[in-house]
Amino acid sequence: MFESEEQKERAEVIVMLLAKLYIVLELAADTCPLCHKTLEHDSECPIALAWSVLSSDQQDEARSAIRALALSMGWDDTFSDPVVH
């Protein structure tokens, strides 16, 4: 599928960025810029597909990274968090 290791690494970065966008949209409750749905994505949305290929550990790691970034930017936990903990 990939011609080189560099292409594989680029694909992995893109998948992780899309997955992190999934979390940002989840926390902000904005509509998805790709499929235009709120809190849910259609079955072919690249953001939802990227999220679905991550393991549960990778999903947890991505959530932690985005929350840490949000807190470092001065956001607090008063925003709506639809994630069941």
The answer as to whether 80 is a domain residue is no
Rounded Cα distance between 36 and 54, Å, is 22
pTM of the model: 0.63
Q: Does residue 61 fall inside a structural domain?
A: yes
Is there a domain that residue 55 lies in? yes
How many folded domains does the chain comprise?
1
Residue 82 located in a structural domain: no
Q: What is the pLDDT of residues 1-52, one digit of tens each?
A: 567 888 888 888 888 888 888 888 877 777 888 888 877 888 888 888 888 8
Question: First vs last Cα of the chain: how many Å apart?
Answer: 36
The domain of 54 spans 5-72
